[in-house]
Chains A and B, each alone.
Chain A
Amino acid sequence: MHNNKYLQEELIRMSGVNPKKCMRCGKCSATCPAYDEMEYHPHQFVNMVESGDIEPLLASKSLYRCLSCFACIDRCPRGVEPAKLVEAVRLAAIRQQGANHLTADKVPTMLDEDIPQQAIVSAFRKYSK
């Protein structure tokens, strides 16, 4: 827990998000297409970063369920832009040594004949450093 203050500042700086603007209406989570598959939802990312409760987010599978659809960004009435915070926490997680969520050797098992290149490069961009 000792470096949480630093991590919190780092996440806020990377994302440009001010979690204090959030009024906890839950609209971001209500519109999130990955809601059912997430253990922590977009509004929780905002609230937990604000309170410094970041470790559970770093370890959560929710990071890899976000679709980068930007719906929570456009539909938040306070302009908080939760997806930017999800992205920052995800990067904080996968930038650590050996923490890539997707490795190249796993890719062939995920493909079929028709899958566009776009899916593969996007997954790499989101899941690996």
Chain B
Amino acid sequence: MKVSYFPGCTLKNKAKDLDVYARKSAEALGVTLEEIENWQCCGGVFSTARDEVATKLSSVRALKEAASKDQPLVTVCSACHNVIKQTNHAMQTDKEFASKVNNYIADGVYEGETEVYHYLEMLRDVVGYDELKKKVVNSFKGKKIAAYYGCLLLRPNSVMKMDDPENPSIMEDFISAIGATPVVYAKRNECCGGYIAMESPELAKKSSNAVIENAKAAGAEMIITACPLCRYNLIKNGADIPVVYFTELLAEALGVKEDTNA
């Protein structure tokens, strides 16, 4: 199966691991990620203002390219996913916004027809966790792993519709599928501080510490995430257990980690 793929700026720079392991693992699972040509940065955060048009064009261009190939659009970075999915939703539901956007779009109109998946949704809904289980060659049996969702994967739920926003299981089920034991803790869907790290490192520290302490108190030996900024904030603010991208564990479980240069 072939899908369109939007890596995003951070996955080409500080978060190369997240990207490289995602591609290798997808191949091992029979999915080819076709990178969108000449994609542009999504902007990192979605603006909820209905009159913000120019800042959403890069997402619409990527969505439209996927539509032209009749493929779903897959992202791995939580932030890209959030921006692109919210933009797609606005194109479907806000006609006034959509008509302004289409004034900028060459070759026909776009009306939100592309399906947007996070890589985790692709694993759960397209590949299937049972299939994944069968392909695991290095099991993480006995390892206690905490999933960190943060904000962007789940919220706003009315648009993201990935999982129950207050009691999610998509990452815990992934952890089980690779043989490990998921650790459930209260702060798994609270904010790490996000971009406030630039402006108020103290606030990022307070938010991130609360997540780390809560995960450790629940017995976690490792934290997994899909977001480069979550990972940065947790590591920067004193995580003394490993904080890794879920794609790295996936690649290791599938036995393709060594094939990469990440």
Contacts and interface: CB of A to CB of B under 8 A. Distances in A.
B232 A13 contact: no
Q: Binding site of B, secondary structure by majority: helix, strand, loop or mixed? A: loop
A13 B52 CA distance: 12
Nearest to A17: B48
Q: Binding site of A, secondary structure by majority: helix, strand, loop or mixed? A: helix
Contacts of B232: 114-116, 119
Contacts of B183: none
A123 interface: yes
A116 B15 contact: yes
A110 B199 contact: yes
Interface stretch (A22-30, A44-52, A67-75): A67-75
A34 B191 CA distance: 10
B52 A118 contact: no
B9 interface: yes
B195 interface: yes
B228 A116 contact: yes
Contacts of A8: none
Contacts of B222: none
A74 B228 contact: no
Interface centre among B44, B154, B155, B166 (most CB of A within 10 A): B44
B55 A125 contact: yes
Interface string B183-224: 000000011011111111001000100000000000000000
Contact of B47 (A33, A87, A114, A118): A87
Contacts of B203: 33-34, 37, 65
Given A118-B44, A122-B45, A14 B50 contact: yes
Interface string B32-60: 00000000010111111111100100000
A73 B191 CA distance: 14
Interface residues of B, number: 46
A18 interface: no
Given A14-B50, A121-B9, A115 B197 contact: yes
B198 A123 contact: yes
B20 interface: no
Contacts of B48: 15-16, 81, 83-84, 87-88
A14 B197 contact: no
B235 A123 contact: no
A120 B10 CA distance: 10
A114 B151 contact: no
Contact of A118 (B77, B165, B190): B77
A123 B196 CA distance: 8
Interface of B: 8-10, 13-15, 41, 43-52, 55, 77, 79, 151, 154-157, 165-166, 190-191, 193-200, 203, 207, 227-229, 231-232, 235-236
Interface of A: 13-16, 33-34, 37, 64-65, 67-71, 73-74, 81, 83-84, 87-88, 91, 102, 107, 110, 112, 114-123, 125-127
